[in-house]
Amino acid sequence: MSVSKEVPLAGVRVADFTWVWAGPSATLQLAHLGAEVIKIESLERVDTTRRLPPYADNTIGHNRAGYFNQYSQGKKSVVLNLKNAKGLEVAREIVRSSDVVADNFAAQVMDRLGLGYEDLKKVRPDIIAISMSGYGQTGPKRNYIAYGPVQVPMIGLASLSGYPGRGPSEVGLSYGDPNAGMHAAFAVLAALWHRRRTGEGQFIDLSQWEAAIGLVAEGLLDWVFNKSQPDRMGNRDLAEAPQGVFRCLGDDRWVAIACWSDAHWEALARAMGREDLVGRVDLRTREGRKAHELELEQAVADWTAARTPEDVVATLQAAGVPAYNPLSNRGVAEDPQLNARGAFTEFDHPEVGRRRHVGAPWTFRKSDVRARGRAPLLGEHTAEVLMSVLGYDASRIRELDEAGAFGPPGWLSRHWQGG
């Protein structure tokens, strides 16, 4: 299939001040869509995700972290010392050449750096700036510090998760971060469209907290409608039964089953060979099945315990019942469906070699949308961007280097062969 050589965001440049997860996941989507994303990094405070495992071959290094290498695909890395007047001057020059400025710092951090929206407008009047702070730029808690594991409890999800008789449970993932990233990318696209029609830039104030509330909106509405806070129920569902994760034949083998309609239930019971359950009047409605939940869970568990997950999945999928085996890390990487769809992409990396990454989540028929390259080494594109984007010559770059614009004086000349 042929695709257009014109990518959706061709010609769009993003000055990316984001770090950790929420912001980088937003600019990753823009990179997939073809924007030139210039990631502004600090040598003094290296991005957290460069300092988190897993590391390639379990060898620690700023360019070896899987976390960073996944969410920085297709970006360029420029190191700047924003506490240095010359470094800040370079940052503003990059903004002048950019269409979008993104950050996910706490409220007012960009203002304190001299890079708040009012400052940015003086540099480029039609700039689009998005700030993805945890609590938003306004309100009594705007200066609170947010982090992924805290955001899950903040939206009510932890209070709904866990087992009966126990406290709120961590869900194992900082949902707020990638969720905010997707919302931010969507907002930037809308702002770019607005600027195309009107010529106007604007400031986008995205609260990661507010963006994540929609993940559990039904919980909020249960309180709004009924003043109800349901008990935690482990793998069970509030309304449907049977469903959950059931042990299968083998060591630590499991299968996830969802039974969300009368038809699902009848198909499940027949697949298990339980015509006696199919014929029971008291199980024909979800209310009836919920009333006999423990009995039905035991019936399903007895059936799955004698079968491999693969057997269960094949049998239930053929019968029209949603089921899949919980995948290990290896299972995800080797899943035939994901690989057949091209969900993964591979890039050669100068430090970690050729590695597999999660690719772009979309398949376009008419446009060139894809993961565009490996993650950058720390500061890899500093000289390149200064020359190709800002038009600096080698003499100017050396002057900035000696003035500490990039970090310790002389850092760039020690890492850039052309210096």
Among residues 177, 251, 335, 401, the one annotated as catalytic is: 177
Q: pLDDT per residue over 74-114, tens digit each?
A: 999 999 999 999 999 999 999 999 999 999 999 999 999 99
407-413 mean pLDDT:
95
266-274 mean pLDDT:
98
- 258 closest CA partner among 274, 242, 278, 234: 242
Checking if the pLDDT of 2 tops 70, the result is no
Q: Which two tokens stand for residue 284?
A: 């024909």
Return the pLDDT at 3. Answer: 46
2-22 mean pLDDT:
87
Q: pLDDT per residue over 195-235, tens digit each?
A: 999 999 999 999 999 999 999 998 999 999 999 998 899 99
What are 36's strand-pairing partners?
Answer: 13
How many residues are there in the chain?
Answer: 419
Return the pLDDT at 5. Answer: 61
Helix (H) or strand (E) holding 179: helix 176-198
Residue with tokens 């995800």: 332
Return the pLDDT at 4. Answer: 52
Q: pLDDT per residue over 380-401, tens digit each?
A: 999 999 999 999 999 999 999 9
**Higher-confidence position of 419 and 29:** 29
Q: Please report, rounded to a whole number, the percentage of residues in the chain having pLDDT higher than 90.
A: 92
ω into 350 cis (within 30 of 0): no
- pLDDT band with cut points at 50, 70 and 90 for residue 186: very high
Checking if the pLDDT of 418 tops 60, the result is no
Return the pLDDT at 381. Answer: 97
Catalytic residue list contains 311: no
Q: In angstroms, how far is CA 18 from the centroid of its own chain?
A: 13
What global pTM score does this model have? 0.93
Average pLDDT, the chain: 95
DSSP notation for 315-367: HHHHHT--EEPPP-HHHHHH-HHHHHHT-EEEEEETTTEEEEEE--S---SSS
Q: What are the backbone dihedrals phi and psi of residue 379, each rounded to the nearest 5 degrees, phi first?
A: 75, 10
**Contact status, residue 194 vs residue 202, Cβ threshold 8 Å:** yes
Return the pLDDT at 415. Answer: 83
CA distances to 53, 271, 369 from 317, in Å: 36, 10, 32
According to DSSP H, which parts of 247-292 are helical?
262-271, 275-278, 286-291
DSSP notation for 199-235: ---EEEE--HHHHHHGGGHHHHHHHHHH---PPP-TT
According to DSSP H, which parts of 37-131 are helical?
66-71, 85-96, 109-113, 117-123
6-10 mean pLDDT:
93
Q: pLDDT per residue over 303-354, tens digit each?
A: 999 999 999 999 999 999 999 999 999 999 999 999 999 999 999 999 999 9
Checking if the pLDDT of 1 tops 80, the result is no
Return the pLDDT at 103. Answer: 98
Residue 279 sits at the vertex; the CA angle it makes with 275 and 281, to the nearest 5 degrees, is: 150
